[in-house]
Structure 1
Amino acid sequence: MILESIGIQDFRKLADRLVIDELTPGLNLICGPNEAGKSTIAEAIRIAFLERYKVSGLGGLVPKSRPDGQPTVEVSFDIRGVKHTLKKQFVRKQRCELRIGTQVFTEDEAEEELAKLVGFSRAERGASRPEHAGIPGLLWVRQGQTNDVRDPGGHASGYIREALSKLAGGETSRGDDALINKVQGELFKLLTEKAKKPTGSLAAVEADLSRLQNERDTLEQQLRNFDEDINRLGTLQAEFGEVQRSRPWEALQEKAAAALKRAESFDQMERKHKELAQKLEIAVMEHKALLQQEQLAVELETSAKNDSEALEAALAAAGQAGEAYQRAADCVATAQKANDEANALLETANAAVLANELKRQLEAQRSDISRIEEALGKATEASEVVRELTRQAALTEIDAEKMKTLQAVCDQMVPLQARRDAALTRIEYRLTGTITVDGAPVEGEGVVLLDGQKTIGLPGLGELVIIPGVSDVSELIAALQDLETERGKLLLELGVSSLVDAVERHTRWKSLTAEKTSHAKILDAHAPKGLDALRTELEQARGRLAATQERLQGLPDVSSALPVADAKASFDTARIQLEAARTTLMSASEAKTQTAAGASGIRERLEGSEARLKDPEFVARRQRCQTDLVDKASHISEYKRNLEMSTQQLDIAKLDDPRTEAERYTQSATLMRAEQLARQQKISSLRVQLETLGGTGLGDRLAQTVATIDQAESRRGELRRRADALNLLESVLVEERDAAVAALRKPLTGRIEHYLKRIFPTGEMTVDDGLTPVGLLRGSQFETLDSLSYGTQEQLGFLARLAYADLLQSAGKPTLLLFDDAVVHTDDARRDAIKRALLDAASRHQILVFTCHPSAWNDLGVKQRHLEDLKAASRAAA
């Protein structure tokens, strides 16, 4: 099977039409970055072949960018020289068309024919599942599933076994012997294929037998229950008659009434107890209030006595405070006078200090004026020099760029002049006479450079014409002449006679500029803000000098002034003494005021207390209060005795709560009546139930059910024996078939070994009876596939699919290998081995490899087809 072209439209990420044609029969590499659409192309091929065109649930094929798109896949392929074309549309206008040469198949017929051609089975309904994928499911590998070969191999095992059988010359139907299929068909009518559980008629017989046994058990239980209910009915009737005669609930009701009477008497006792407690509480509160009134009267008498004594002490303290205040006032006056005298002396001393400071400032200001005048002179001189140097620099300034160009021209001329001198013919002469060179006389010793043809006259002998033999002298001379012309032009523009003159002039200009900068710094040092600012500063200094002289003249005579420290010490002493005297005076004033106020307050409080104690109404109320205190104390004693007796009576009565007893007796009577009523209802229900069951013929039904069970057990025995015989026959046939499969396994292991030795030269892959790989044997060590690293599993899965393809192709099955980003987890050495195996397989099969690592596959000698280029070509063709 050779794919020739693939056309995809409105399929997931591929909204625009994409056409991949000119696919080669061997290896095809399709490259692109992640999410470019490689897996979408592989999935489009898989869905076009394996999915039914009418299957629902494929709405995800519609591109999100084109929600009204029509997912379409068209594949052209060749099988044994016959051209095939498959076109499918999904989701909306669902259709399927398969062209085989000149034949055209459509819809379901086309899909049936396609399944036969490629080697897979159609799902009866719903989406295709892995077990339907057959050969494509094994050889078309999704991204990240290269390592998984057992499940796809198991689903394709029928096709593989059929291919091996054809290679061995045997006959088989999808890998199973016809007789085994027949036996299994009969066996599987009675037992399930895997679990060997009953099914079909055997399951139906066993189900009927189980139902009949349950029915028998139910009837037997009902018969036992019928007998038990008869006995129970007699017992209930006897109990009902006995209780109905004795009527025990009536006695309980009488006990409840008696308990209620006791509860009423207990309530009266509680009310009396509460009344006594309340009276006691009120009496105690009244007695307490009377005690408080008497206490207040006693406190008032005590307070009057204390205030009388305190008044005498307060009056004495007030007299002492007045005398102390007068003494303090005299001390303040004396201290104030001493403070004023000390302050006058301090001011004179401070004036003397200020006079000295002003004299110092005068000297500093005169010095400052001298400094500013000197700086102004130097700054003025530097300003004049800067102006003159600026003028001279302007006269000597030269264009630096042109001078650089002149220097470059002269530098170019030096090697050319050297080359010219080296190239010119040199004639060294040492003459005793005179000759001519181009008519000019030459004598003595020297050198003649011939920059062109020269005629040398030899007196008495004739002439010599000398022509230089170097061919490029004229070119050198021409180049030198051009440079000399340019040099002359530059010298003229710069106004100098030579490069040396220009350099000297430029050096002079830089010297003047540097000197100007130096004097400018001197100017900036003396007048950083300019000459005008310096002049202004001079005027300000002179003004400050005049002001200082005026302040000095305005000071008083300080010839007799004390030293400041002495004057300050005298003033501080006087000030401290004044402040101490004032503090004493303030304290004496506060003490005088407070003692006078205290005496006045005590006098007022004493007068009020004495007036209240002498008030006739207060005296009468106090006498009544004292009489009531005695009466209340007597009542409280009586109330306490009565309350204690009532408490004892209540405690005795609380030992048995009559109200609780009444509730208990009432509840018990109610329960007894309810039990009797329930007993009566059970008797009625049992009578009805027994009458109903008695008329159903339980015994006859049970006997009939037992006979039916015997028949069902006989039928189950027959079917069980048939199933056991068929199972034994199927086991014998399968063993024979498996022996044949073991012989068929050798070609598969041989093809696997053909590829495996490239990576594991001494390794051997083991294959189970289902013809799928189970492990790797290296030397004496066996490892299951699951125990190997992911990368090794992936490599073995890749090689095993190449081996399967070889076997299927040898049996005439269409083979197409498709790998989506396979062998990613592989080192360079194993990848090279896999590449060699891939190229070997590509000589027999068409292989499509989708990869996002083109650099890993660029040494296969196969053109890489980049997905972006394919998209661009498809757009251009559209």
Structure 2
Amino acid sequence: MKLRRLQVEQLRQFRQPFVLDDLQPGLNLIHGPNESGKSTLVRAIRAAFFERYRTSSVDDLRPWGDSAAAPTITLDFDAQQKSWHLVKSFLQRKRCDLKIDSDSYSEDEAEEKLAELLGFQFSAKGVSKPEHWGVPGLLWVEQGTGQNIEQAVEHAGDHLKSALNSLVGEVASTGGDELIEQVKARWSDLFTPTGKPRGDYQKLEKEREEHQQEIDELQARIQKYQEQVDRLGKLTQDYERTQHERPWEEAERQLEQAKERYRQVEKLEQQQAREKETLTHLQNNQQLLRQNQEQLQSLNKKLDVRKTELDKAQRELEQAEARTPSIAGKVQEAKAAYEAAAKQVDQARLQETRSRLEQDIRRLEQHNHTLTQNLDKARQYQQELEQAREQSRQNQINAKAVKALKNTEHQLKEENIRSQTIATRLTWQLEPGVRLALNEELLEGQGERQLLEESSLVVPGVGTLGITPGGEDLASTQRKLSTLGQGLAEQMKTLGVDSVQQAEHRVVAYEAAERTLQHTRELLKSVAPVGIEQLLADQKETQSQLQKAKTELENSPVPEPGQQLQVTDVASAEAGRAQAETRLAEAEAEERKHQTELLTRRQTRDNAKSEWQQLQDEVQNPEHQKQLQKLSKELAEIEDKRARLETTLQAREQEIQQARPAILRQDIERYQRSISTLRQTQEERQRELRDIQVRLEAWGAEGLEEQRNDKVAELEQCNRRYQELDRRARALDLLLILLTEKRQALTRRLQAPLQKHLDHYLSLLFPQATLEVDEHLRPGTFTRGTELGQIAELSFGAREQMGLISRLAYADLLREAGRPTLVILDDTLVHSDTDRLDDMKRILFDAANRHQILLFTCHPEKWSDLGVPPRDIQAMKEQGSANLV
């Protein structure tokens, strides 16, 4: 199929006729900027073929704002070695005329001829949809849809398969498909789509499992029954033997023997503890007696020591008394120096007080002067503030209302201008002395009036002419003028002004007054932050403090004559006094320390003398010797008792250790546990015997073996039914696999011509790569080297390239089968990089040798090396407009 000429008229932006002719049988590059009409031309071609001429659902073809338009498309093309001429109009002039060589067709018959030629369908109702487009929907690529290939192939699938069948000889139309469907239907009775059993097959399989599970449970219970019978026999034998032997009684006898032995050992331990306490008491008495003996024997040594200490204390006391006069003289000198320094401090403080008062007086006088100046300024600023506030109050106006007033005035002016433009214009030029009357207004000479409402013109001697301005716009404008005039008057009345200029003047005056008011407030705040009243109070307070300072200066004493030259600053005087005070304190501390030392020396001498005298009297006392003899005799008796008691304790301790009391306690605990364990074990054995007997009686009543035999019979019957269905299911499954494999082989044979064209184009873009198609002829698995995946997993640009390659392969297949082809590409391959775009140009140039390709683009610079002259839509539109002029 070769498109030779396209003409559109009253279609979207092409209000005037636009012709695209001289189209070449191969590549045609048509370019223009955005909104120049490229997509409109593509839409026109689609509408000419796909849309019913009588449909009312193509308002998108109508030029904007033109409800009376009749979009018309004219196409001239060659197909099936014949010349075709198509004219189709929509909306206001619905018509379809088709001429094939000398044969003419119209209306529905013409549209059916087009659908039969290109392989598409018409929508039964409304606008055409992608599912109706068939082969053209596959080969005509809209802007931004080049990567979407699957649905387009699905919609054109029947036409593609028909073309393949014509090439390979009706391979796909054998009775195999019907047989496969029959096998699938029977297979589906037994299996789910995922291959799992269903229906009776699933039910029998589930019953088999349930019967087998019940048999396994019964067998387990029978085995448990037999185990319980064996357990009952063993338990009965163990219970009777233990009941006869009664081993816990022997353990009780051994427990009593162990307790008796342990009680004897406890008596020995108690006796041992008592005698150990006695030994401890003897050892304590022996130690006290020895201490008393040593104390009596040490009195003579203590007497000599006390005599030495007495002599030393006497010497130290005499030395301390000799230093008393020197220390008293130092204290007197320090007191005199401190009194002189204190007097110097008093004079310095007096002088500092007078200096401070004089400085305060000067400071307060300066502050009082500043307050007086600030008070004068504050009163001036207060007066200016009142004036600014009065000015603001007089000119206060709502700025937003003034803005709205200006807007209303602006609208009124625009409406006046518009009314002058559309109003009926009356001009006159009368002879001298001739007069006319317009609405009772006399007109003479020459002049002009614009009439917005119905008027009457009286011509003397002729009659009255009625003038009625026409058009709804004029009446609407007049009403709007009246409304705006009333609104303007009401707004000025509300604002209390006579004009907009007066309102603007008041806004400016009000804003200036507000700025002055703010500036004056800031000035007043700078001299009187908290108000004039506070400023007056501060001035009064300052004057009071000034008078008080002057009074204090007059009443303060004058420094003594002759002392003013000696007086230093207070800090130096106080430092001198502090030094004198420190020396006085040191002298007094030394004197106190000396007096303390004298008292201590005297006390030490007196204590030493008293202790020496007491020891001497005690040593010379006759009772002292008697006490020494008595202590020696008592110590000898205690030593003898201690030796005998230690021998007895050692022998008893050996006897206790040989009895091993810890082991005896463990024996008692062991026998007690053994008795408890033996009795508890026998009781548990008796309880278990009762439980097993009750359980066996219950199981015996259930007839477990009879139940198992019944279930085994049911399982065998279920197995027979299941095996019948299972053989049938496996046979159907095998048959379906064989038929499917045969069908796939036929499909591969059917796909071979298409695969050949795909491999041709793919080798130009991806050498050594393969692209397989599925049984529905859709591009599927893409393989390149070790990479394997689906087209949908590629990048956007790669998917767009693979989509175009696939469409060109389908076009080759259709051409080979003798079907008409036309490839239309609207701004495609915009996401391709430079290298891939070069490869795609080679592919397009190769395909153009077999098909006519219309390539629309807004980037002509990218296609400058395509080998064909570009067609500029914008230039053609301008040339067409010039021809019309």
Same fold (TM over 0.5): no
TM-score range, shorter chain: 0.3 to 0.5
Structure 2 length as normaliser, TM-score? 0.42
